A and B are shown apart, each in its own frame.
Chain A
Amino acid sequence: MARMKFLCDAERCIECNGCVTACKNEHEVPWGVNRRRVVTINDGVPGERSMSVACMHCSDAPCIAVCPTNVIYHTEEGVVLHDKDGCIGCGYCFYACPFGAPQFPNGPAAFGARGKMDKCTFCAGGPEENHSDAEFEKYGRNRLAQGKLPLCAEMCSTKALLAGDAAELSDIFRERALRRGKGFEAWGWMTAYGKDKEEAK
């Protein structure tokens, strides 16, 4: 069974915001709501790295744990979705999410649901009839049900952002990592292994 995940390759992400825009396009996400964002560290100096971040579709999702109305759920593929009809817009998930993924649209135009939480759906729609107007209005398109993957990843300019079954993604990434034949530039490498080296300097 597929376990859906994102993987952003920091060696490739060029902060072009293609992913952010693809998401806006596919789901008609209104101004002010960003299901996906690109964050950059060391901006403008050597060591600059960017990462595209959305809902991580956590296995042990804090948002699910805290939602007072219990309207956030996991699909069988591990996608974290929620039911806007039962959402009270309290923002508890916003507190709990380590990535700032939940968004709180402002105004009636936003997915027809004022103040309801909105977040990345892994392009899997929500609890409405697949491909129905209701699903599109509240949650955006359901690409998974069309046999397609998230548009943000499919359109990524450098194929930095990957989406799909975690096992298959790691195959893709492993191949790249092998080609590079080096590790210390990779995201998190220094944190994981580089301490002594840095201190020794």
Chain B
Amino acid sequence: MLIKKSAAPGNASRQLPGPVARHLGATMDRRAFLRRSGLGAGAGVLAAQLPYNLIGSADAANPGAQSATGGEEVRRTVCTHCSVGCAIDAIVKNGVWVRQEPVFDSPINLGAHCAKGASVREHGHGEHRLKYPMKLVDGKYQKISWEQAINEVGDRLLKIRAESGPDAVYWIGSSKHSNEQAYLMRKFVSFFGTNNMDHQARICHSTTVAGVANTWGYGAMTNSYNDMQNARAMLFIGSNAAEAHPVSLLHILHAKETGAKMIVVDPRFTRTAAKADYYARIRSGTDIPFIWGMLYHIFENGWEDREYIRQRVYGLDKVREEVMKWTPDKVLEVTGIAEEQVYTIAEMLAKNKPSTVVWCMGQTQHTVGNGNVRAMCILQLVLGNVGVSGGGTNIFRGHDNVQGATDVGPNPDSLPGYYGLATGSWQHWCRVWGVDYEWVKSRYASEELMTKSGITVSRWIDGVLENPADIDQPGNLRAVVYWGHAPNSQTRGAEMVEAMKKLDTLVVIDPYPSATASMAAMVRKDGVYLLPAATQFETSGSATASNRSLQWREKVIEPLFESKPDQTIMYAFARKFGFADELVKNIKLVKDKQGWDEPEPEDILREINRGTWTIGYTGQSPERLKLHMQNMHTFDVKTLRAHGGPCDGDYFGLPWPCYGNPELKHPGTPNLYDTSKHVMEGGGNFRANFGVEKDGVSLLAEDGSASKGAELQMGYPEFDDVLLKKLGWWDELTDAEKAAAEGRNWKTDLSGGIIRVAMQNHGMHPFGNAKARALVWNFPDPVPLHREPIYSPRPDLVDKYPTHEDKMKFWRLPTLYKTLQDKVRDISKEYPLIMTSGRLVEYEGGGEETRSNPWLAELQQEMFAEVNPKDANDAGFRNGDYIWVESPTKARLKVRAQVTQRVAPGTVFLPFHFSGWWQGRDMLEFYPEGAAPIVRGEAVNTATTYGYDSVTMMQETKTTLCRVSKA
């Protein structure tokens, strides 16, 4: 029986009918009245309508516009929790963020969000935020004023700088900074006088950036989430996109629905695997043998794209030699994947083209990370899948702006735009900054230290703890500034607290106290400062999503409590350090509500535009980006291109490279190296970045491989003034451009004239047209080789596939490989299980921010370890028991057992977002009062072991060893 609420037909009016209204006496009990009105047929609608309609008639005349009523404003921003870049409409009323609405117009997420994105409004509550500057006094955090904080921290850092040189201070920036903040930070730390700075990209995709850039030019995702809709097959290896990049699955599952084959290779049967057509379980850390195993079948069956290889790939013969050693039996022995499975996957990729590959930290965070990613690139080159819509290497980045911070932010080995640290690069940027090169040089301890890569964030603890005689810089680190970075994302946590103990000064600048605050208070009595930074919703700026699209965030609310945007804090410290004027030479200052000076984000972006020619961060003016944000609905979801409207012809977010001045109106590049398009339509080819020949063999692409419409259909080197003159195109420059371009190349010509002439007039790519390098001769393993992890479960394979030799001066530090591997060769007898880590959908990164959000915290309330039933039974515990997970460092983690077949026997998986417990003990008392995250648990990295990539110093987190026992 259906019960319909009674409603008078035709009585849609909210007016109270006269007779009933008269009955509304003051004596009448409200509930009784309401109940009665429920019975009185015909009087239904009048019931609960007192007080009368809150919404004025002006709005009522405009149906659907209700969210804009009552002083509500809509601010468009972008989720800060991963690199997908989902747009959000924030509804703000009287300065309070009251609602969050989906942005169906966004071509990236079409309104969709995962749990993290659906929760961002909680930032507007921020109950567990760091509310004001604090200082550790006698083991407890005490409130101090901003003035005191800037003065004390500034004095301490200046003192260290005077005593031990600028390289004694280590700056850890953030992939959660906007492009403008990240860029300003690189400049800020340079003016402090050191390259000792880094951010999350080091421990997330540094191996990708180095490996992929050295293969074909740019170290970034080649295509886009959207473009995966064009794929016919997709291989996920070392990526759990369903949890790490949930909204990407919108495009991926759509592609699957329209016939694409989805393949997952992973040590865990992940939620991504649950959606796949095909799954294979691999032993952690054996990606190269698996990829070579696939290539073995591809070569055997002639599935390679010969013409593509001939035109566009260098050095494949050497790779083939190595590949053919990986016969199916060897692949099975090392990876655990049977021949039939390897063959099936290879065939699926080869016969369903275009096929794409996706990888994340499962590939990158290994001692052979750079080899893993290059092997993936080679696979795609062999199949002719790069520079093709639906193909490419879709490298999903992590943080919302890790791509941008990598591109223009605080990297220890490069100035913004991957310019490197050579003197010429410094001179280029000094011209952009409007400062004297000699002055910047004088800020550094020496020219040698100015041009030498700094210590990486993965190793800062060794910068503190290492014997000073063995460090490749004047002395140990004495101060560390954690500016938007979690400590529990770096390995060897047990040693980290030792390093924290030894420091002179430790500074945290973050919206949350972060695990740094509690770890430090656990081992120190003083010398720790916490400064509250604003979130990205409390300032404005641009962020670069994984697909290289830039999106502009409007400021949603004023900074909560006493927090300040990072650029404001940077400027305040610059004043203290005495280089404020140099820092903002070309940047306008605006006053905030408290009278502080804030460098304006728009102006910072304009400065980025003026200098970052290498990777085409030059065309994305704030005006163009804002126009895109307001006209999202005009962009096509599959191609990301605008059809009509004010952004006609542009790709959404002007994905870099967006070459030339904004006036050149380059549309951005949706898929890198795509020769089927004209360069002014986002087309391109592989970059000529490694010379024109090697050992007598040309590195330039073969004839017929240039991008569509290029005047010279052949390989050619990158453009500079000389080439322009040789080609007879010099006079196409204006006089002003000539003056700026003389003696320069396309990367350092500040007028953009060389780029304009090459691209617009002749359809040529300013970075030249070369072959991709299957053989990266400048890396330790020119052809990627399998090397067992340092802590390997297989001593027999360690003998066959040993790691590298130790390195003495590597990113300023001695780095162990072989000696350590030999020492622990048989340690798997005591620690028989592989320990690996990964993401959960509800949390991000170190997790303090998301674990402070009640809507998310409620969903994952405890740290756990996934253990196979066999291992659980062998160790004598059950699902839900507390267990100890102990690693060879002797650190022990007390976690809940989740007994599941998701992991194979012999593998233990732990999520890496937890912190706030230390080897069985809750660290609540060490947090500033009221600012501890709601959910606390053991950090997996408390127990992780030593091991670093041989090119980038990426930490090994995915393959180490452990044992488990009932707690």
Binding site for B on A (CB under 8 A): 11-12, 14-22, 24-26, 31-32, 43-46, 48-49, 59-60, 64-65, 72-76, 85-86, 127-132, 134, 141, 146-147, 151, 154-159, 176, 179-180
B854→A18 contact, CB < 8 A = no
User: Is B63 part of the contact surface with A, judged by Cβ < 8 Å?
Assistant: yes
User: Is B593 part of the contact surface with A, judged by Cβ < 8 Å?
Assistant: no
A59→B2 contact, CB < 8 A = yes
Other-chain residue from B52, B118, B842 in contact with A25 (beta carbon distance below 8 A): B118
B112→A128 contact, CB < 8 A = no
User: What 7 new A-B contacts, CB under 8 Å, besides A25-B100, A129-B50?
Assistant: A16-B114, A16-B246, A21-B115, A21-B116, A21-B119, A130-B53, A132-B51
Contact flags B891-927 to A (C-beta < 8 A → 1, else 0): 0000000001110000000000000000000000000
Complex CA–CA separation, A46 to B506 (angstroms) = 48
Other-chain residue from B4, B54, B253 in contact with A131 (beta carbon distance below 8 A): B54
Interface residues of chain A: helix, strand, loop or mixed (majority): loop
Enumerate chain B residues within 8 angstroms of A73, measured Cβ to Cβ.
3-5
Contact flags B17-53 to A (C-beta < 8 A → 1, else 0): 0000000000000010011000000000001111111
Given A18-B117, A76-B4, A158 contacting B250 (CB threshold 8 A) = yes
Contact flags B88-112 to A (C-beta < 8 A → 1, else 0): 0000000000011010100000111
Complex CA–CA separation, A73 to B44 (angstroms) = 13
Enumerate chain B residues within 8 angstroms of A11, measured Cβ to Cβ.
253, 257, 275
Enumerate chain A residues within 8 angstroms of B728, measured Cβ to Cβ.
none
Given A146-B66, A151-B102, A24 contacting B855 (CB threshold 8 A) = yes
A157→B55 contact, CB < 8 A = no
Enumerate chain B residues within 8 angstroms of A154, measured Cβ to Cβ.
102, 104, 111
A157→B66 contact, CB < 8 A = no
B121→A25 contact, CB < 8 A = yes
Most buried by B among A43, A59, A180: A43
Complex CA–CA separation, A158 to B112 (angstroms) = 7
Interface residues of B in 484-506 (CB under 8 A from A): none
A17→B842 contact, CB < 8 A = yes
Most buried by A among B1, B63, B250, B855: B855
User: Is B731 part of the contact surface with A, judged by Cβ < 8 Å?
Assistant: no
User: Is B859 part of the contact surface with A, judged by Cβ < 8 Å?
Assistant: yes
Interface residues of B in 241-257 (CB under 8 A from A): 242-243, 246-247, 249-250, 253, 257
Interface size class of B (residues with CB under 8 A): 35 or more
B901→A44 contact, CB < 8 A = yes
Chain B: CB-nearest residue to A69: B35
Given A14-B249, A132-B51, A179-B257, A45 contacting B901 (CB threshold 8 A) = yes
B900→A14 contact, CB < 8 A = no
Enumerate chain A residues within 8 angstroms of B104, measured Cβ to Cβ.
154
Enumerate chain B residues within 8 angstroms of A18, measured Cβ to Cβ.
112-115, 117-118, 246
B48→A14 contact, CB < 8 A = no
Given A73-B4, A132-B54, A16 contacting B63 (CB threshold 8 A) = no
Chain B: CB-nearest residue to A177: B257
Cβ contacts A to B, 20 pairs, < 8 Å: A15-B271, A17-B115, A18-B118, A20-B859, A21-B859, A25-B122, A31-B858, A43-B900, A45-B902, A46-B274, A72-B3, A73-B3, A74-B5, A76-B5, A129-B48, A129-B52, A146-B66, A157-B246, A158-B112, A179-B258
A22→B48 contact, CB < 8 A = no
Other-chain residue from B47, B50, B110, B275 in contact with A127 (beta carbon distance below 8 A): B47
Interface residues of B in 268-287 (CB under 8 A from A): 269, 271, 274-275, 279
Other-chain residue from B51, B54, B859, B900 in contact with A17 (beta carbon distance below 8 A): B859
Given A17-B841, A43-B900, A85-B31, A158 contacting B253 (CB threshold 8 A) = yes
Chain A: CB-nearest residue to B104: A154
User: Is B67 part of the contact surface with A, judged by Cβ < 8 Å?
Assistant: yes
Chain B: CB-nearest residue to A175: B257
Most buried by B among A44, A46, A157, A176: A157
Given A45-B901, A156-B112, A180-B257, A127 contacting B118 (CB threshold 8 A) = no
Closest CB in chain A relative to B712 CB, distance in Å = 44
Complex CA–CA separation, A155 to B114 (angstroms) = 8
Complex CA–CA separation, A128 to B4 (angstroms) = 16
Other-chain residue from B2, B52, B53 in contact with A74 (beta carbon distance below 8 A): B2
Complex CA–CA separation, A131 to B99 (angstroms) = 13
Chain A: CB-nearest residue to B275: A14
Given A43-B900, A76-B4, A21 contacting B253 (CB threshold 8 A) = no
Closest CB in chain A relative to B126 CB, distance in Å = 14
Enumerate chain A residues within 8 angstroms of B243, measured Cβ to Cβ.
14, 16
What are the 3 closest A-B residue pairs judged by CB atoms, nearest first?
A44-B902, A48-B274, A17-B115
Enumerate chain A residues within 8 angstroms of B435, measured Cβ to Cβ.
none
Complex CA–CA separation, A196 to B900 (angstroms) = 30
B113→A22 contact, CB < 8 A = yes
Closest CB in chain B relative to A82 CB, distance in Å = 11
Complex CA–CA separation, A86 to B39 (angstroms) = 14
Complex CA–CA separation, A16 to B246 (angstroms) = 7
Complex CA–CA separation, A18 to B111 (angstroms) = 12
User: Is B644 part of the contact surface with A, judged by Cβ < 8 Å?
Assistant: no
Closest CB in chain A relative to B83 CB, distance in Å = 15
Enumerate chain B residues within 8 angstroms of A129, measured Cβ to Cβ.
48-54
User: Is B7 part of the contact surface with A, judged by Cβ < 8 Å?
Assistant: yes
Complex CA–CA separation, A127 to B44 (angstroms) = 11
Enumerate chain A residues within 8 angstroms of B584, measured Cβ to Cβ.
none
Chain A: CB-nearest residue to B274: A48
Complex CA–CA separation, A22 to B279 (angstroms) = 31
Interface residues of B in 191-212 (CB under 8 A from A): none
Chain A: CB-nearest residue to B257: A179
Enumerate chain B residues within 8 angstroms of A14, measured Cβ to Cβ.
242-243, 246, 249, 271, 275, 841
Complex CA–CA separation, A167 to B929 (angstroms) = 53
